[in-house]
Amino acid sequence: MPGLLAGQKGRIKVENNQVKKAEETKKSKRGRKPRDPNILTQALSLQILKPADPGITWQELRKALTKASKMSAVVANNCMTQYYLHAISEEKVDTNTLYSTLRNICPELSSSIVNQIMQQVGQYWRTYQYETMTGERSLASFKRTFPLLINNQNYQNTVTWDGSECTLSIPMFSRKILNANPEETAKKKTKREKDLEEEKNEKPLQLSYKIVAVVKHQAHKEILNRLMSGEYKFGQMKVIEKRNKFYCTINYRFLKAAPVLDPNRIMGIDLGVANIAYYAFNFSPKRGAIKGGEVAAFSAKIHNLRRSYQEQGKYCGEGRIGHGRKRRLRPIESINEKEKNFRNLTNHRYSKYLVEMALKNNCGKIQMEELSGIKKDKTYLQYWDYYSLQEKIRYKAEAVGIEVNLVDPRYTSQRCSRCGYIDANNRPDQATFKCGKCRYGDNYYCYTCGHEQDENGSCSNCGSEVVKSVIHADYNAAKNLSTPNIDTIIEKEMG
């Protein structure tokens, strides 16, 4: 169907039966294997340092990786277009025919990579087919930096690890890249092309390249030890180009740790701005918080830098003038990358700390607020990437056998964690909680005997001096979140 491009935008007009068919595909989620809850999948990212073969230069390896990546992008875009055209004509995609079509487009690319691209693009299409056919989402278009997808059977036997260096082989091309009939190929080349090849002295591309990867962190070394011992299983590998560097991202699978923790011990985590995360427990008055000062300071620094670079763009030097919008905004893009890396690294540190606190207190469950039901214009959701933080807490907790439960956050900040009374006036300000019924947080406390009373002065129980009780609102909310079935309890209390 001429005129249809992989990157075409705009609303797509489809018939009602096509939309219905796409909706049924979305609901059925066909083509997906059921996930085993006892098997976890994570990724190990290693930077490619150099080719392992001393006869191959880094420029030659880079050229091969770039060429294979561009071929993969061409195959992926054509595969997506084929899925779309078949959906428009209401025809079922024949995988054998599709494979032959894609192989004819890029015959030099390895057949195993073509198979992996078909699976990846097919899964993407089935996930977003309904949105694409109804015009809610544009047809996906993949860039030239599309990752090389390598099946585990094609590389895991080539991995070597001696404790300091990791080497592995990356299959990229088919035998057709070797030019089986060089005489016929030579006839097609002009004299100028032959002279250029002789001047460059380029070596022909190989079917696969052996590389040396950087292993810096002790955690990465431990993962490689477990992969080589068979404790962890190799999965698909992706070779990705990012900021002029290439990385091998190896997916690996392992069995979830057997739950030896107490399932009745629950840790509640409340997210906010002044405190990025405040945690409490349902069995103890223990509490803790991750202050938001570090995030606030960095956000203010990034904001000032971005504003400064934007102002400088108006009167920048000749090196940034006359080269287009992209060159002029390059400093701002570098700031965006720095901010993204800071958020990612900080969320890793925070999530690791919170999961460690749950382990130290023998908690078998972590409960957090369900953020998907909160409006997107909520102020504190724009302040930090809380979704990423929750996701990192989830997979780190599941890796050690801790169950993660997301609950409805409504009224958890207004409910008294002691008596259950719910009222918006229980929070006179952002940081303070005072119950209007049992006066929790609005009375006096004796640290000698633990007695609470409404009057100031001496303790009516032991005679010691009492102090004003102050309950932080985030602690009260975290205490509510640590309550089993808190969303059901609040629903009953609200009538």
> Which residues are the active-site residues?
270, 369, 474
Task: Tell me how long the chain is.
Answer: 495
Strands (E), 144-232: 148-150, 160-161, 166-171, 208-213
CA quadruple 41, 46, 50, 54: dihedral positive or negative?
Answer: negative
Strands 287-291 and 363-369: unpaired
**What are the backbone dihedrals phi and psi of residue 482, each rounded to the nearest 5 degrees, phi first?**
-85, -5
- Tell me the C-alpha distance between 406 and 475, whole Å: 18
* Tokens 């409340």 belong to residue: 270
- Residue 363, H or E segment: strand 363-369
Rounded to whole angstroms, how far apart are CA atoms 209 and 206? Answer: 7
Percentages of the chain per state (helix, strand, coil), in multiples of 5:
45, 20, 35
Type of residue at 396: K
Q: Which helix (H) or strand (E) holds 340?
A: helix 330-360
Q: What Å distances lie between residue 316 and 136, 329, 331, 333, CA to CA?
A: 40, 11, 11, 16
